[in-house]
Structure formats: C-alpha cells, structure tokens
Amino acid sequence: MAYVITEQCTKDEKCVEVCPVDCIHPRKDEEKFAETAQLFVDPVNCIDCGACVPVCEASAVFALDDVPEQFKAAIEKNAQYYA
C-alpha cells in the first residue's frame, strides 16, 4: 500500500516533520518545492505508518484504500513525482 497526498495540501510540511523514512517531497530545501502545488508520498518507500494523517490540518493525506473518489487522480500523481 502507500499513503497518498491530495490537492488539499497546503505545503506546510507538518507531515514531512513526522515521516520516519523521509518519503514526502519536495521539501522546502529542494529545488522543486516552489514549482509544485502540493507535496507527494513516495509509494515505494512509504512504510504505511500513518503518522502523516493526524498532523495534517488540511486533511489532505489518505491511506491508498481510503482516497475519496474525487481525489483518485492523486494516486497516480504521487507516484508520478518519483517516476
């Protein structure tokens, strides 16, 4: 599985601070941060710990199986960022 960030993301990096495997990017110190509208979870390295969900004030993170219908495109977008 993997967690997925949707377009509601405000890029405040609360999830980045708690992710134990640093699989949420781009971070502020990375070049692509300015040009991306949201952050993305690396589906290969995410260990499904769920730590990113409660800290997200925008409710932008979902477990893969719980991604709401209207945000399904985010699944591919998150993966695509790391392709």
| The two structure tokens encoding residue 51 | 């730590």
**Tokens found for residue 76:** 């591919």
For residue 11, give the amino acid letter: K
Tokens standing for residue 69: 């219908």
Min dist CB 78 to ligand SF4, Å, is 10
**Is residue 1 part of the contact set for ligand SF4 (CB under 6 A)?**
no
Question: Between residues 19 and 67, which has the closer beta carbon with respect to ligand SF4?
Answer: 19
- In the bound state with ligand SF4, the residue whose beta carbon lies nearer, of 27 and 69, is 27
Residues near ligand SF4 (CB under 6 A), total: 28
Q: Using CB under 6 A, which residues numbered 8 to 47 contact ligand SF4?
A: 9-15, 18-19, 21, 23-24, 39, 41, 46-47
Looking at this protein, which amino acid is placed at residue 29?
D
Question: Closest Cα to residue 20, out of 55, 54, 45?
Answer: 45
